Homo-oligomer: A and B are copies of this chain.
Amino acid sequence: MTSPSPLDFDKRGGLVTAIAQDHRTGEILMVAYMNEEAFEKTLELGEVVYWSTSRNELWHKGESSGNVQVLKEFRVDCDGDAVLMKVDQKGRAACHTGKRSCFFNSLEGGKWRDVGVQVFDPATVYRK
Protein backbone atom coordinates (compact mmCIF):
# COMPACT_ATOMS: atom_id res chain seq x y z
CA MET A 1 0.00 0.00 0.00
CA THR A 2 1.54 3.30 -1.02
CA SER A 3 -0.92 5.71 0.56
CA PRO A 4 -2.39 5.96 4.09
CA SER A 5 -5.04 3.29 4.62
CA PRO A 6 -8.56 4.35 5.60
CA LEU A 7 -9.03 0.92 7.23
CA ASP A 8 -9.34 0.90 11.01
CA PHE A 9 -9.03 -2.65 12.33
CA ASP A 10 -8.69 -1.43 15.92
CA LYS A 11 -12.08 0.24 16.11
CA ARG A 12 -14.02 -3.00 16.63
CA GLY A 13 -11.44 -5.34 18.12
CA GLY A 14 -9.50 -6.34 15.02
CA LEU A 15 -12.38 -6.99 12.66
CA VAL A 16 -14.17 -5.01 9.98
CA THR A 17 -17.56 -5.85 8.48
CA ALA A 18 -17.10 -7.21 4.96
CA ILE A 19 -19.88 -7.04 2.37
CA ALA A 20 -19.78 -8.87 -0.96
CA GLN A 21 -21.79 -7.40 -3.81
CA ASP A 22 -22.23 -8.89 -7.28
CA HIS A 23 -20.21 -6.57 -9.52
CA ARG A 24 -22.60 -6.97 -12.42
CA THR A 25 -26.09 -6.90 -10.87
CA GLY A 26 -25.42 -4.98 -7.64
CA GLU A 27 -27.07 -7.76 -5.62
CA ILE A 28 -25.76 -8.12 -2.07
CA LEU A 29 -24.49 -11.66 -1.75
CA MET A 30 -23.34 -11.96 1.86
CA VAL A 31 -21.85 -10.23 4.88
CA ALA A 32 -19.02 -11.55 7.02
CA TYR A 33 -15.86 -10.26 8.71
CA MET A 34 -12.22 -9.58 7.88
CA ASN A 35 -9.16 -9.07 10.01
CA GLU A 36 -5.96 -7.50 8.70
CA GLU A 37 -4.54 -10.85 7.64
CA ALA A 38 -7.70 -11.70 5.68
CA PHE A 39 -7.53 -8.31 3.98
CA GLU A 40 -3.92 -8.83 2.92
CA LYS A 41 -4.62 -12.36 1.77
CA THR A 42 -7.58 -11.12 -0.30
CA LEU A 43 -5.37 -8.64 -2.14
CA GLU A 44 -2.64 -11.24 -2.61
CA LEU A 45 -5.00 -13.88 -4.07
CA GLY A 46 -7.42 -11.56 -5.86
CA GLU A 47 -10.13 -13.71 -4.25
CA VAL A 48 -12.05 -12.91 -1.10
CA VAL A 49 -10.71 -14.28 2.18
CA TYR A 50 -12.79 -13.63 5.30
CA TRP A 51 -12.08 -14.24 8.96
CA SER A 52 -14.47 -16.88 10.29
CA THR A 53 -15.67 -15.75 13.71
CA SER A 54 -17.16 -19.20 14.42
CA ARG A 55 -14.04 -21.20 13.52
CA ASN A 56 -11.50 -18.48 14.38
CA GLU A 57 -9.52 -18.97 11.22
CA LEU A 58 -8.99 -17.53 7.76
CA TRP A 59 -11.81 -18.48 5.42
CA HIS A 60 -10.97 -18.50 1.74
CA LYS A 61 -14.54 -18.39 0.49
CA GLY A 62 -15.30 -21.13 -2.04
CA GLU A 63 -12.02 -22.95 -1.50
CA SER A 64 -13.81 -26.30 -1.07
CA SER A 65 -16.85 -25.76 -3.30
CA GLY A 66 -15.01 -23.87 -6.04
CA ASN A 67 -17.45 -20.97 -5.64
CA VAL A 68 -14.76 -18.36 -5.04
CA GLN A 69 -15.37 -14.63 -5.13
CA VAL A 70 -13.03 -12.92 -7.57
CA LEU A 71 -12.31 -9.40 -6.37
CA LYS A 72 -13.26 -6.66 -8.82
CA GLU A 73 -13.38 -3.59 -6.61
CA PHE A 74 -12.49 -2.82 -2.99
CA ARG A 75 -14.09 0.03 -1.04
CA VAL A 76 -13.85 1.21 2.56
CA ASP A 77 -16.42 3.35 4.36
CA CYS A 78 -16.03 6.79 5.97
CA ASP A 79 -15.06 5.52 9.41
CA GLY A 80 -12.91 2.61 8.29
CA ASP A 81 -14.76 -0.25 9.96
CA ALA A 82 -16.61 -1.70 6.96
CA VAL A 83 -15.52 -2.79 3.51
CA LEU A 84 -17.50 -3.34 0.36
CA MET A 85 -16.17 -5.76 -2.21
CA LYS A 86 -17.58 -5.99 -5.69
CA VAL A 87 -16.99 -9.55 -6.80
CA ASP A 88 -17.47 -12.05 -9.55
CA GLN A 89 -19.20 -14.90 -7.71
CA LYS A 90 -18.13 -18.17 -9.25
CA GLY A 91 -20.82 -20.86 -9.30
CA ARG A 92 -23.43 -18.06 -9.17
CA ALA A 93 -24.21 -18.75 -5.49
CA ALA A 94 -22.70 -17.23 -2.35
CA CYS A 95 -24.81 -18.87 0.34
CA HIS A 96 -24.05 -22.21 2.00
CA THR A 97 -27.75 -23.04 1.43
CA GLY A 98 -27.07 -23.05 -2.32
CA LYS A 99 -28.95 -19.80 -2.80
CA ARG A 100 -27.56 -16.94 -4.84
CA SER A 101 -27.61 -14.53 -1.91
CA CYS A 102 -27.67 -15.07 1.85
CA PHE A 103 -30.38 -12.40 2.14
CA PHE A 104 -33.31 -14.58 1.16
CA ASN A 105 -35.63 -13.87 4.11
CA SER A 106 -37.96 -11.05 3.12
CA LEU A 107 -40.45 -9.29 5.38
CA GLU A 108 -43.66 -8.75 3.43
CA GLY A 109 -46.86 -7.53 5.04
CA GLY A 110 -45.69 -8.62 8.48
CA LYS A 111 -44.75 -12.11 7.30
CA TRP A 112 -41.36 -13.62 6.49
CA ARG A 113 -41.06 -15.12 3.05
CA ASP A 114 -38.19 -17.01 1.40
CA VAL A 115 -37.46 -15.12 -1.82
CA GLY A 116 -34.13 -16.86 -2.46
CA VAL A 117 -32.99 -18.12 -5.83
CA GLN A 118 -31.79 -21.72 -5.47
CA VAL A 119 -28.70 -22.27 -7.60
CA PHE A 120 -27.32 -25.57 -6.32
CA ASP A 121 -28.14 -28.39 -3.94
CA PRO A 122 -25.79 -27.99 -0.96
CA ALA A 123 -25.92 -31.74 -0.26
CA THR A 124 -24.23 -32.33 -3.62
CA VAL A 125 -21.70 -29.52 -3.55
CA TYR A 126 -20.46 -30.00 0.01
CA ARG A 127 -20.32 -33.81 -0.01
CA LYS A 128 -16.95 -35.23 0.95
Which chain B residues lie closer than 8 Å to A74 at the CB level?
106-107
B96 close to A78 (CB less than 8 A): yes
A13-51, CB under 8 A of B: which get 1 and which 0?
000010101000111101100000000000100000000
A2 close to B110 (CB less than 8 A): yes
Which chain B residues lie closer than 8 Å to A110 at the CB level?
1-2
Q: A3-B111, A5-B112, A78-B97 are in contact. Are A106 and B73 (CB under 8 A)?
A: yes
A84 close to B112 (CB less than 8 A): no
- Any B CB within 8 A of the CB of A66: no
A3 close to B112 (CB less than 8 A): yes
B28 close to A28 (CB less than 8 A): yes
Which chain B residues lie closer than 8 Å to A105 at the CB level?
6, 75-78
A54-80, CB under 8 A of B: which get 1 and which 0?
000000000000000000011111110
Q: A17-B17, A26-B26, A105-B6 are in contact. Are A77 and B111 (CB under 8 A)?
A: no
A-side residues, CB < 8 A to B, are 1-6, 17, 19, 21, 25-28, 30-31, 43, 73-79, 82, 84, 95-97, 99, 102-107, 110-112, 115
